Amino acid sequence: MYDLLYNSPMTEVWKSRGYVPHSEIPGATQFLTWRLHDAIDPALWEVWRQMYSGDESALQIWREAEKQLDQHGGNAYFRRPELAHRVMEAIFRRHGEQYEIHAAVVMPNHVHLVVTLRDGIELSSFVRQIKGATSREINQILGRTGPLWQADYFDRLIRSSGHLARCVRYIHWNPVKAKLAAHPSWYPHSTAYSIWTEKVHPPEFSAPEG
């Protein structure tokens, strides 16, 4: 397990690609969300982009986006279990080497995860790596061309152990809130599901029962 580095103003670097700016902090733990390209109406996305004026507005935008995403708009390709599974596999491909995944879920049209990056691994590179690999593979399966994912992503720094716990809980309960499962452990494309829980918390390190 890596040590969690919470937000430090001394190490924060902001990057922007013309959307909401992103925070690049070496070794930081971050909550990430990205979506399929057609999950949200582009006109609505443009309204939100123009609303952005700092952390407070970013949180408001994120909440509005979540409401839209949980309606499963667009093609929602990840209703197909085999496609959602491939995204989870891509997320964990370099887990324990370049980064540590604390929680993740693949919803029908978007992804949430909490990750700690190793020093030298940039957040933008991490996201691009997963998007690139899954875009090629899934487009081939679907027999389609063109963008699969949105061009950008939301990120939020994890600022404390309590914040981390809340984000992990949010991720695990998202399928229940969206009426996709009756309990987090029953949704197969989440780290609350047994095969992925074991990757985040290997059995040999689990607390003993009783």
- Using the structure block, give the residue that is written with the tokens 């979540």: 66
Quickly list H helices, the chain. 42-51, 55-69, 81-92, 123-142, 161-177, 194-200
pLDDT at 197: 95
Do 167 and 114 touch, CB atoms closer than 8 A? yes
Give pLDDT tens digits for 58-72: 666 666 666 666 666
| Top mean-pLDDT range of 27-41, 56-70, 119-133, 196-210 | 119-133
The H or E element containing residue 111 is strand 110-117
User: What is the homologous superfamily of the domain 13-205 according to CATH?
Assistant: Transposase IS200-like (3.30.70.1290)
* H/E stretch holding 31: strand 29-35
Indicate whether 75 pLDDT > 60: yes
Confidence bin at 1 (pLDDT 50/70/90): very low
Contact by Cβ (8 Å): 134, 87? yes
* Cβ proximity of 17 and 152 under 8 Å: yes
pLDDT, position 210: 38
Q: In the structure encoding, which two tokens stand for residue 17, read together?
A: 């690609």
The candidate with the shortest Cα–Cα distance to 104, out of 121, 119, 122, 87, is 87
Residue partners of 25: CB distance under 8 A and separation at least 6:
5, 7, 8, 11, 12, 13, 157
For 37, the token pair is: 């390209």
Instruction: Parse the chain into domains and list their residue ranges.
Output: 13-205
pLDDT per residue over 143-171, tens digit each?
999 999 988 888 888 989 999 999 999 99
Residues 6+ apart with CB under 8 A from 1: 100
- Report in angstroms the alpha-carbon separations of 23 from 13, 15, 55, 106, 196: 6, 6, 11, 23, 27
End-to-end CA distance of the chain: 24
| Tokens 């879920």, located at residue | 105
- Per-range mean pLDDT, top range of 2-16, 25-39, 156-170: 156-170
pTM for this predicted structure:
0.78
Residue 41 pLDDT exceeds 90: no
- CB–CB of 12/23 below 8 Å? yes
Amino acid (one-letter) located at 132: G
